[in-house]
């Protein structure tokens, strides 16, 4: 395999052995970006001169005997993170000139670990799409099929990893924004337990970058191997030093098991609100068969599983109530009027979105209390199982669709159209209760597109789904570079 596609762990070993320098790795990554990104458009902001200087500093540090977690490794950063001296726009044209003066806490941690930041990766407008496209930087293409999306909102990061633009990247996840791009591009991602990795500085411009964790939102690692996810999570995890870090220290428990044969896995391939496409169902079966072949306990049903329909409703309510907080007063009043006009028996998805958008504080507390009941249900389930295997979205990457309003879009599932937003139920399964979820490649569709699945684990036991992902990678194989970008 070409060196640019090697795992960060392998590159670190080569750096430690003196087989390569950080300057060489950085120049190779820059060369690949300059050669291939014209057709992908993954790297929306380049920072090559500072990257070259960081690489020279990394080599000098290693020559002095230093050895930090990511010393000399080229990485990329999602555009939504503040990087001092680079624009942070979240794809909003009115902020195209906004340049923060301080690094986000996760960018600072990357640099402290010795990583070489190559630049920033593309996102959708306000991070609100499963495609990465905006008026400032344009659309990011899928490395496997340029006519298809790389996913969103961390689509630029996933495409960059698949194309060999750096060994690691950091993204964020509210509605599958780490997991969906990984699934679409054939790489790995981990949505941490809510609150595990601080997000200060991953905030819409113009900020301020306060140490406050938003409901549902997490920041997390993306990589080309499962072990690299763990490597990067170790850099990212731990409380913000401005808040919980004053009193708390991180102590993640080890993985529950070290062998596939010891894992107990619940497989979900059906959801009451949307069907699972044949390509994703086949991928789930491949993983389930690999688990069973190694002696793992694999079940398809459990009475302990929290109600999937109620979980999806709660997720939608909490998601849209947070999103609506940024609406201006006139837009909010229009939605209040529309919600008041809904029939009492209208329980459709559109009605759920509209009612959630205008939740009162009392309404939100009621939904949050129901969420706590679901969390308790998950604790009981994870007394019987170690992980849940399920889809990320119902289909592989879909064709670009940047001209249709989100509310009017459909998702094609084996030839039948369904409301575009309904596919978020699988992302919300882990997001609503704050559970960790690891996205892993699980083969290819009949059209040759990557297909991923997710492994949901117990809250704050992130090492359990990560270890399961690593063992499955050893058993089934993992990342494969696109034949041609």
The residues annotated with a catalytic role in the active site are 78, 153, 177
Token pair for 233: 């999570």
Nearest to 127 by CA among 269, 323, 357, 265: 323
What pairing do the DSSP bridges indicate for beta strands 138-139 and 133-134?
antiparallel
Q: Which residues contact 48 (CB under 8 A, 6 or more apart)?
A: 30, 118, 119
User: How many CB atoms are located within 10 Å of the residue 338 CB?
Assistant: 14
Element (H, E) at 452: strand 450-456
Which one, of 128, 32, 110, 35, lies nearest residue 73 by Cα? 110
- Alpha carbon distances (Å) from 134 to 174, 185, 484: 19, 19, 25
226 beta partners: none
3-state secondary structure 303-369: CCCCCHHHHHHHHHHHHHHHHHHHCCHHHHHHHHHHHHCCCCCCCCHHHHHHHHHCCCHHHHHHHHH
Q: Supply 128's token pair.
A: 């609100």
- Collect all residues with Cβ–Cβ distance below 8 Å to 469 and sequence separation of at least 6: 188, 226, 229, 438, 440, 455
Distance between CA atoms of 270 and 410, rounded to whole angstroms? 19
Distance in angstroms between the alpha carbons of the first and the last residue of the chain: 15
- For residue 179, the Cα-to-chain-centroid distance in whole angstroms is 4
Can you state the angle between helices 48-63 and 22-40, rounded to 10 degrees? 160
Residue 30, exposed/middle/buried by CB under 10 A (0-12, 13-18, 19+)?
Answer: buried
Whole-angstrom distance, CA of residue 233 vs CA of residue 355:
36
């Amino acid at each position: 395999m070409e060196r640019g596609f090697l795992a960060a762990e392998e590159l670190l070993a080569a750096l430690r052995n003196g087989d390569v320098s950080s300057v060489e790795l950085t120049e190779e990554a820059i060369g690949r970006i300059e050669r291939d990104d014209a057709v992908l458009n993954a790297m929306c902001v380049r920072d090559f001169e500072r990257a070259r200087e960081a690489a020279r500093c990394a080599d000098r540090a290693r020559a002095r005997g230093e050895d930090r977690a990511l010393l000399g490794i080229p990485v990329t950063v999602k555009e939504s993170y503040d990087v001092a001296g680079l624009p942070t726009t979240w794809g909003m044209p009115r902020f195209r000139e906004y340049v923060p003066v301080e690094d986000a806490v996760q960018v600072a941690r990357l640099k402290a670990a010795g990583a070489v930041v190559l630049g920033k990766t593309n996102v959708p407008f306000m991070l609100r799409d499963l495609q990465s496209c905006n008026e400032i930087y344009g659309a990011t293409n899928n490395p496997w099929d340029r006519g298809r999306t790389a996913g969103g909102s961390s689509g630029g990061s996933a495409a960059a990893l698949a194309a060999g633009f750096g060994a690691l990247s950091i993204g964020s996840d509210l509605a599958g924004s780490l997991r969906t791009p990984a699934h679409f591009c054939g790489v790995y991602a981990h949505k941490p337990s809510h609150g595990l990795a601080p997000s200060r500085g991953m905030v819409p411009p113009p900020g301020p970058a306060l140490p406050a964790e938003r409901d549902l939102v997490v920041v997390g690692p993306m990589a080309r191997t499962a072990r690299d996810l763990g490597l990067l999570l170790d850099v990212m995890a731990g409380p913000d030093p401005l808040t919980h870090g004053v009193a708390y220290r991180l102590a993640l428990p080890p993985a529950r098991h070290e062998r596939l044969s010891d894992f107990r896995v619940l497989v979900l391939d059906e959801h009451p609100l949307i069907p699972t496409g044949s390509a994703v169902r086949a991928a789930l079966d491949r993983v389930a068969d690999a688990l069973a072949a190694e002696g793992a306990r694999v079940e398809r049903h459990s009475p302990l599983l929290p109600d999937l329909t109620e979980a999806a409703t709660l997720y939608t309510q909490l998601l849209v109530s947070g999103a609506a907080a940024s609406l201006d007063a006139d837009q909010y009043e229009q939605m209040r009027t529309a919600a008041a006009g809904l029939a009492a028996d209208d329980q459709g998805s559109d009605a759920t979105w509209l009612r959630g958008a205008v939740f009162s504080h009392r309404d939100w507390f009621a939904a949050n209390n129901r969420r706590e009941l679901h969390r308790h249900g998950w604790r009981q389930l994870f007394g019987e199982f170690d992980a849940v295997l399920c889809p990320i979205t119902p289909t592989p990457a879909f064709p670009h669709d940047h001209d249709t309003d989100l509310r009017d879009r459909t998702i094609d599932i084996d030839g039948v159209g369904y409301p575009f937003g309904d596919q978020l139920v699988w992302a919300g399964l882990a997001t609503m209760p704050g559970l960790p979820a690891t996205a892993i490649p699980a083969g290819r569709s009949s059209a040759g597109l990557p297909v991923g699945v997710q492994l949901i684990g117990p809250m704050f036991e992130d090492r359990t789904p990560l270890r399961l992902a690593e063992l499955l990678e050893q058993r089934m194989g993992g990342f494969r570079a696109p034949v041609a970008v």
